[in-house]
Amino acid sequence: MFSKINIVRFLLALLVTASWSPLARADEDIWKSGLNLYVRLTEQDDAASGRPVPNQHPVNLDPAAIANSLIDIQVWDKHWFKKDEIEEVFSPEQARLLGQQLAIALRKASPGQDIVFAVSRTDTKFLGFRDLSYTAGRAFYSNDRLNIIIGDFMRPPDKFQERATSSAGVMEIKYYFRHGRRDDPSDFESAVMTGDGVEVYNEGGKRRLDWLVIDVNRASAARLAEEKAGEEANAPVSDEALRQEAARFAQERREMRLEMARMRKEVGSGQTGAESTAPIESRLKTLDELRQKKLISDEEYERKRQDILNDL
Amino acid sequence: MKPFSTMKLAVAFGTAALAALLTAPANAAIVLGGDNGWEVSYGGFINLFFTQSDFDSQVPACAGPTCSEDSTHMQEGLLPAFHTLTAKSPEIGGLKGTAQITFAPDSSGSKAQRLNKGGAMIDMREVFFNVSGDFGTISAGRTLALFQRQAILKDMTLFGVGALVGPDGGGTSLGRIGFGYVYPDFRTRFTYKTNDINGFNLEVGLFDPQETTGTAAEETDTPQFQTEMTYTTGFEGGSFNAWAGFLWQELEVQASTGGATGDIESFGWNVGVDVKMGGFNVVGSYYDGQALGTLLFPNVAQSYACDAFNCEEAENDGFYVQGTYTFNGKTKLGVSYGESNQDGTATGAPESDNSLWTVGVYHDINSWLKVVAEYDHQDSETLGNEADIFGVGGFILW
């Protein structure tokens, strides 16, 4: 029925098919770790209007400048259950890795090539659990700016499937990430804290929150200046007034960027200034104070608090 | 007894050479938590389900109270508890080593007996090591076999209940084993796997041949062959994965209850696809072959039969299709249907058809806690029953 000779022929045919596959990809790995982490050259994707303008590749950028410009990119997100509303798009480790590898990739890339990447990070979450997540995107240099489109942002791995398969002889699961596209916004819609060389792409008046446009040198310089200001603020200097001024300046910059991001998010979600969260916060604080001073009852407090929250 | 042929001699030499290659780099001392580059990890999960089932006998002339049984039961799902210890070596001379042991105790037993699976024994599912390099990966030891491996790993009932052997049984449930694919089982083998070649991977293996009785009435003097080829590629927002597998084994029946003797040749092939797009996921799997058994290969007692003149293999085939949609990356809704069928033989192997419908919700509360609710309807000539099963349960993972 199925002789031993036929078995050998079957196996050889499989091997030859795999080796001479016509589906060979044109992608070139610049850096790779395991199945799921990489920085890779790939064909330029389509723009919304059709074929995109060729990239300004190859280009020489300083790895440290790229890393510095990425470290400082933050998003503002609304969380009801925690105070810290600011989140880094890239962890310092991710930014350093991308700085090094994107610099190499940008030197090697042709005008018709983009760079796609997937990097991981481990963050401490609720109850101290450490969670791994992946961030993937697309990068290219155009109009004298580094463009990064975020596809998957902090995507968690399928730990249950990983455990089941790794206990079945399959040591690693391959994930396929969304790298973001020029012609189709991804699900990354957090409000980016722009300024200091970091903007979001604006196409015909429509902002693409997933598409970062970075003036690498300016963003890097801003970060270095901020670091310096922070160091000076903490340094034991003789001129106390100067130290306080530097610290205050750094604090004001941070608050201003946060406020700008908040305002953009509100504009994006159709809220008016009168309905913004800042007055609501103020009203909630006032309400808290009134209750603490026992000027209103608990029942009045709860009713009024709900009214305020309904305004959101 | 047949003479030791040139083919068998070549296989024996090949196996010996493979074994020599595998043992060659094993010169590193493992220091747990040491700074010599070794990494040792421990992971696993435990699950338990509450099931409510309604079983009816499929015996045509069955009458009386023993023909049906309603049952409340607390039992594990298709997966037992897994406890996996993995040691990974540093890369030395382009070689990386991995050793893994997985033991799988049960969180439940049958209603008639607290302990199951032969008393206090623990199912040692995996004991193997890998050596990887630019040449690919050579693996030796016991782990999940290749034939139909993808079918079970992509089955949504892997984290559910699926079919049950009966209303009061212990140990794991069947999932879709025998209702869409034949159980690959955890088998001892030497395998070679290529590195990724443009999305392709090929894994071939020499497996310890399987016998039904383990007595002189059966003889297996060549290895069992299994292979699996996979192709995966991604596109923006999704991925495509296809696979094909193959199994072959020869078993010589030297004494049968029917009287005849002869060679029983088991072979099978399987193919499948897994397409993900956004939150949607569609999986399709098909297999065909002979003397595979319906539930478990090579529990071949039912997959061939001998009469006074000859022995004959039964034909087997089966498939399943599955569609799921995942909300917010955490909640998966799924429906699946599958069949496993066997044609009877003139020598007496039984005809046997099984089918299973499954509808399930699988929700990850967080990265270490999963809850599941599932409804299954099974119809099995192999098990002789028809059942409606509702199960709710959960997994903890570390």
A14 with B229: Cβ contact below 8 A: yes
For residue A311, which of A281, A286, A291 has the smallest C-alpha distance? Answer: A281
C-alpha span between B288 and B284 (Å, rounded):
14
**Chain B partners within 8 Å of A176 (Cβ):** 232, 234-235, 238-239, 276
Q: Please give the residue of chain A at the shortest CA–CA distance from B225.
A: A7
The three-state secondary structure class of B398 is: coil
Length of chain B: 398
How far from each other are the two terminal CA atoms of chain B, in whole angstroms? 51
Q: Got the DSSP string for A63-85?
A: HHHHHHHHHT-EEE---SS-S--
Rg value, chain B, Cα: 22
Structure tokens at B70: 């309603």
Please report the pLDDT score of residue A288 as a whole number: 85
3-state secondary structure of A108: helix
Beta bridge partners of B229: B202, B244
A4 vs B204: CA distance, rounded Å: 15
Confidence of residue A128 (pLDDT cuts 50, 70, 90): low
* pLDDT value at A153 more than 70: yes
pLDDT band at A226 (very low <50, low <70, confident <90, very high): confident
Residues in chain A, overall count: 312
Please give the average per-residue pLDDT across A297-308, as a whole number: 81
A74 phi, psi to nearest 5 deg: -130, 155
Q: How many CB atoms lie within 10 A of CB A229?
A: 19
- Contact residues, chain B, for A178 at CB < 8 Å: 236-237
CA–centroid distance for B123 within its chain: 14
Highest mean pLDDT out of A70-79, A238-247, A292-301, B81-90:
B81-90
pLDDT at A269 over 70: no
Average pLDDT over every residue of A167-185:
86
Residue B210, phi then psi, degrees to nearest 5? -110, 140
- 3-state secondary structure at position A29: strand
Tell me: cis bond preceding A279? Omega within 30 of 0 counts. no
Nearest to A11 among B82, B200, B227 (CB): B227
Burial of A99 (0-12, 13-18, 19+ CB in 10 A): buried
Longest pairwise C-alpha distance within chain B: 71
Q: In whole angstroms, what is the distance from residue A277 CA to residue A280 CA?
A: 5
Best CA proximity match to B330, nearest among B281, B276, B371: B371
DSSP B39-105: EEEEEEEEEEEEEEEEEEE--TT--SGGGEEEEEEEE--SS--EEEEEEEPPPBTTBEEEEEEEEE-
Answer whether A177's CB lies under 8 Å from A157's CB. Answer: no
What is the reported pLDDT for A275? Answer: 41
Cβ pair B200:A17 closer than 8 A: yes
Min Cα distance A245 → chain B (Å) is 45
Q: How confident is the model at residue A174 (pLDDT cuts 50, 70, 90)?
A: confident
CA A214 to chain CA centroid, Å, is 13
Q: Are strands B123-133 and B136-144 parallel, antiparallel or unpaired?
A: antiparallel
Identify which of A180, A35, A27 has the alpha carbon closest to the alpha carbon of residue A108.
A27
Q: DSSP label at B329?
A: T
Tell me which long-range contacts A128-133 makes (C-beta under 8 A, separation of at least 24).
A129/B366, A129/B367, A129/B368, A131/A156, A131/B367, A132/A156, A132/A157, A133/A157
Tokens of A213: 């446009």
Is residue A80 scored above 80 in pLDDT? no
For chain A, give the percent of residues with pLDDT over 90. 28
Residues of A in contact with B315 (CB under 8 A): none
Cβ–Cβ of B367/A21 closer than 8 Å? no
Residue A197 vs residues A212, A223, B168, B339: alpha-carbon distances, Å = 10, 10, 68, 60
Residue of A259 and B194 predicted with greater confidence: B194
B370's tokens: 């999963």
Partner residue facing A168 (CB), from B98, B143, B204: B143
Cβ within 8 Å, pair A14-B234: no
B329 → closest Cβ in A156, A167, A181: A156
Instruction: Please answer yes or no on whether A176 and B234 come within 8 Å at the CB atom.
Output: yes
Q: How far is A241 from chain B (nearest CA, A)?
A: 49
pLDDT tens per residue, range A199-209: 899 877 888 88
Q: Are strands B238-253 and A145-150 parallel, antiparallel or unpaired?
A: unpaired
Which residue intervals of A76-146 are DSSP H helices? 92-108
Q: Is the dihedral of CA A152, A158, A161, A167 positive or negative?
A: positive
Instruction: Identify the pLDDT of residue A123.
Output: 79
Q: Tell me whether A10 touches chain B (CB under 8 Å).
A: yes
pLDDT tens digits for chain B (398 residues)? Answer: 444 444 444 444 443 333 333 333 222 233 355 557 888 888 889 999 999 999 998 877 777 777 889 999 999 999 999 999 989 888 899 999 999 999 998 888 888 876 655 444 678 899 999 999 999 999 999 999 999 999 999 999 999 999 999 888 888 999 999 999 999 889 999 999 999 888 899 999 999 998 877 677 888 999 999 999 999 998 878 899 999 999 999 999 887 777 888 899 999 999 999 999 989 999 999 999 999 988 876 555 578 888 888 999 999 999 999 999 998 888 999 999 999 999 999 888 889 999 999 999 999 998 889 999 999 999 999 888 999 999 999 999 98
- Phi-psi group of A187: left, alpha or beta (phi > 0 → left; psi -120 to 50 → alpha; rest → beta): alpha
Q: How far is CA A204 from CA A207, A208, A260, A269, in A?
A: 8, 10, 21, 18
- Asked if residue A66 has pLDDT above 90, the reply is yes
Q: Does domain B45-78+133-397 have CATH number 3.40.50.2000?
A: no
Residues of A in contact with B329 (CB under 8 A): 155-156
Check whether A232 has a pLDDT greater than 90. no
pLDDT for A270 equals 45
- Beta-bridge mates of residue B397: B45
Calpha distance B87→B34 (Å, rounded): 12
Residues 6 or more apart whose CB falls under 8 angstroms from that of A196 comprise: A72, A218, A219, A222, A223, A257
Mean pLDDT of A24-52: 84
Strand partners, B205: B191, B226
What is the chain A residue with the closest CA to B290? Answer: A1
How many angstroms separate the CA atoms of B124 and B118, rounded?
13
Q: Please state, in angstroms and rounded to a whole number, the distance separating the CA atoms of residues B63 and B67.
A: 6
- Distance set, CA A99 to CA A196, A249, B213 (Å): 18, 28, 63
- Inter-chain touch B237–A178, beta carbons under 8 Å: yes
Contacts across the A-B interface (CB distance below 8 Å): 113
> Token digits for B187?
């088998």
Q: Which residue of A has its CA nearest to B236?
A: A178
User: CA-CA distance, A172 to B39, in Å (whole number)?
Assistant: 16
Report, as an integer, the average pLDDT of A232-243.
Answer: 64
Q: Provide, rounded to the nearest whole percent, the portion of chain A with pLDDT above 70.
A: 71
